[in-house]
Amino acid sequence: MTKHIWCARPRCNERISVPRRKPSRHPKKHRTFSVINPATGDSLAMYPIATQAEVRAKVERAREAFRSWSKLDAEDRATYLLHFAEVLRKHKADYAETMTLEMGKIIRESIAEVEKCAWAADYFGQNGPAFLRPDIVATDAMRSYVAFHPRGVLGSIMPWNFPMWQIVRFAVPALIAGNTVVVKPASASPQSALNLEVAFREAGLPDGAFQIVVGDRTTATALIRSPVSVVSLTGSVGTGAQVAREASRDLKKVILELGGSDPFIVASDADLDAAAKGAVAGRFVNGGQSCIAAKRFFVVDSVAKEFLAKFAENMRRLRVGDPLDPSTDIGPLVSRMQRDEIEGQVKDAVAKGAKVEVGGKRGRRAGWYFEPTLLSHVTKNMRVLREETFGPVAPVVAVPDLDTAIREANDSEFGLGASLWTQDLAQADDLAKQLESGMVFINGIVKSDPRMPFGGVKHSGVGRELSRYGLLEMVNIKTVEIFPGSPGASAVRKETE
């Protein structure tokens, strides 16, 4: 018996068949949820909410898979990841369309997201074995080294805004390290996650090595309480605190990538044309629904008027429309609630004295659209500066000098990324040290890269993802010291402890 899963392209009426367990004699009716196309408001599909028993069964299957997967050489595990990258590229068009239909990402960005997932799989497939080689350390022992061993089954709770990339950037390093993975995706984008499960299966991964469990908050809680070794979350600060509390009951390690309100700082000597283009790219990626999007713009007074004009000019060129149309630059927000939240933040700013330079209103079409919005005369008491603005709104603040810009940038509960635009690169190095963030980009926008660690400070998270540093978050870093085997030989060691 098979369970048919909604296809990436409804018009082709294609179906993907996945094995389903034999039903019990007295089956319980599942609670379900609906996935809504944010561009139209239409329902795409209904999904069952996994029960606690189903979550436990998946984790147990992952534990069984761990026994064999963890014993493979890292080089052997790497071949599966390289095959996985090939599968992603093979199905790129379908996977991209699924993301766009589920959460409204414009199709160009959806295609780029699948390509980035393949890049990460290639990167860890090619470099993971070297990252996991023991570090030799000189000690009193005959031989001593630091080994990097898998931790077991890792649980992950992932959001909707990058529905494939967020999962892949966690799962790929976890898998190359020898762990197995169970992921609970956001209820707004379950099919994008299920497509990854199918892709890993097509790449030949053992049954249970990578699994998706679809559901709601109760499903996430069941996953955290299950016998997983590590819990990873990308989400809000509030959700991160709840997950950390729940995981602490069993002293489980957590990796948390939480909110961001990244500053975008423009110095008086900046290339204003480049900075204005960077501001549009950095603020409106994914319709502004990104934790590392630029969300607070601090511009030195002497160039503020010129920068604002160039920023507005570039924004007016953005085309709002059908996210499946390759010419569209801005699609809908993910939900009515998200659209209403952004609208409320803009209204609050205007009521307190902000000036709308561009946009400022809901879109005039079906779906959850909001116009790309540029605000000037923004002050600290406005929600657009105090809160994370998860949508297409850019608040600009004029400041007297760079010292003030740095101080204002650091005046936030968040510390994920920061972008600084200046032609004085020597000064930029010093300013980068002063910025309270996990990432700083000089004359560029903040973005994730498999080769570099990703994460923040303060309320923006705990731990790192990507690069060797992110991989080492998912292993048991084990000290091994070896002494001669003759009786009493170990007693020769100097007592230095």
The C-alpha atoms of residue 204 and residue 213 are separated, in whole angstroms, by: 20
Q: Which residue among 54, 109, 113, 257 is the active-site one?
A: 257
Q: Which residues pair with 481 in a beta bridge?
A: 144
Based on its alpha-carbon atoms, the radius of gyration of the chain, rounded to whole angstroms, reads 24
- Based on the residue annotation, tell me whether 86 is a catalytic residue of this protein: no
CB 95 within 8 A of CB 195: yes
- Alpha-carbon distance of 275 to 262, in angstroms, equals 15
Question: Which of 7, 97, 197, 291 does the annotation list as catalytic?
Answer: 291
Residues 368 and 339: beta-carbon distance below 8 Å: yes
Q: Please give the Cα distance from 237 to 182 (Å, whole number).
A: 22
The token pair that represents 346 in the structure block:
């803009």
User: Is residue 12 annotated as a catalytic residue, yes or no?
Assistant: no
Q: What does the buried/exposed string (b/e) look like for 423-436 if buried means 16 or more CB atoms within 10 Å of the residue's CB?
A: eeeeebeebeeebb
d(CA 317, CA 74): 48
Q: Residue 90: how many CB atoms within 10 A of its CB?
A: 13
477 three-class SS: strand
Burial of residue 140, with CB atoms counted within 10 A of its CB: 0-12 exposed, 13-18 middle, 19 or more buried? exposed
What is the pairing mode between strands 461-462 and 2-5? unpaired
Provide the terminal-to-terminal Cα distance of the chain, rounded to the nearest Å.
Answer: 62
Sign of the torsion angle spanned by Cα atoms 484, 485, 486, 488: positive
How many Cβ atoms from other residues are within 10 Å of residue 152's Cβ? 18
SS3 416: coil
Backbone angles phi, psi at 352, to 5 degrees: -100, 10
Token pair recorded at residue 219: 């499903």
User: Per DSSP, what are the bridge partners of residue 370?
Assistant: 362
What are the residue numbers of the active site? 257, 291
